[in-house]
Amino acid sequence: MASPSRDSSVDGGANPAPSPNTNQDKSPPPLSKNQLKKLRRDQAWEEGRARRKELRKLKNKEKKERKRAGTDKPPPAEPSQGKRKATEDPDPLAPKKAKHTKNVQLPVSFVVDCGFDDLMLEGERKSLASQVTRAYSDNHKAPLRSHLIVSSFGGHLKDRFDTVLAGNHRNWKGVKFIDGDFEVAARQAEELMKSDQGGNLAGTFGESASAQQTRRDGQSGEVVYLTSDSPDTLAELKPYSTYIIGGIVDKNRHKGICYKRAMDRGMKTAKLPIGDYMKMTSRFVLATNHVVEIMLRWLELGDWAKAFLDVIPKRKGGVLKDGAMLLEESPAAAAENDAEGDPEPSKHDEKHRNTAETGAAKISEEDTAAHSEEDGKQQPP
């Protein structure tokens, strides 16, 4: 019996037919839009190569001619539209930019009490860090600034400043971060205000008879913890005094905690006179930086109504109460305006009217919830 052929057993007979779907039959995939744009840019660059070469030759030739003439300065280029406007004569009717004035240090201190670290969630600590940053910025840029101390600075809040915020707070000027609580901060503030760097009586303090009397008698000021639960209302800020602001963002979970904290230490409390001047469609609870900014504005103007209007967010729906007026709107001036008829409204009046119209609209629960993360505790309700 004959054995099978070796070739047929190895090769399996005839070679199989080639597959119809081979790589040789495939066409290249189409280019994407980005690839087409890049291809066109490359083509345009290559097409302009000769022109760029001619321009370089021309510039080199001009440079050599300037050197032979004794000057290597290029001819003045035609100013662009923006530069041309700057060189033209200024419009005499255009408002002039305010000149930067030197900041004046006042003998008054604000303390942000951050001793509520364990009571806040991570997102609330993030909001508080932003509020402390804004409070520092407002005080640093204010024409009349206070001494600023951040007390009980530790825990998760300090970790955030050291890591996420890259430790930039260590370069801040005019602010102190301490481990001690608000009582320790108040004692340090008292020593600071009595030192050579304590500050000068200027702005509202410069016009206040009580401030001058305090300075003559060498008396110490007061230490007040600001909280909306206090039965007492703050009528004015006093020199050589320390005002403590509760640094907490808790969505009103811990009601009355700042008031209880102050009472346990036997400390005087007070609330900002918001209710005496403003009608609000929401709670009288403000973010820490808003409280600082309001007091800075009062130090400059001596006018609570104006300070509240300038600072309180419009979403709070704040409008002046009936009968409340700004200091610049004296009864005599109002009577004179009534006798002369309605004058043309100024930008100042337009601003106040727009604020009132905004405050007249009721804030929805969704808007309040959306912004509540930025609303910390001045003063817990």
- Catalytic residue IDs: 250
Instruction: Provide DSSP, 204-227.
Output: HHHH-HHHHHHHHHT----EEEE-
Cα–Cα separations (whole angstroms), residue 118 to 114, 121, 177, 297: 10, 8, 18, 32
- Whole-number Å distance between alpha carbons of 96 and 115: 45
Separation of alpha carbons 232 and 21, rounded Å: 90
Q: For residue 320, what are the β-bridge partners?
A: 278
Instruction: Name the CA radius of gyration of the chain, rounded.
Output: 35
Tell me whether strands 319-320 and 268-270 are parallel, antiparallel or unpaired.
Answer: unpaired
Asked whether the beta carbons of 151 and 113 are under 8 A apart, the reply is yes
Neighbouring CB atoms inside 10 A of 116's CB total: 25
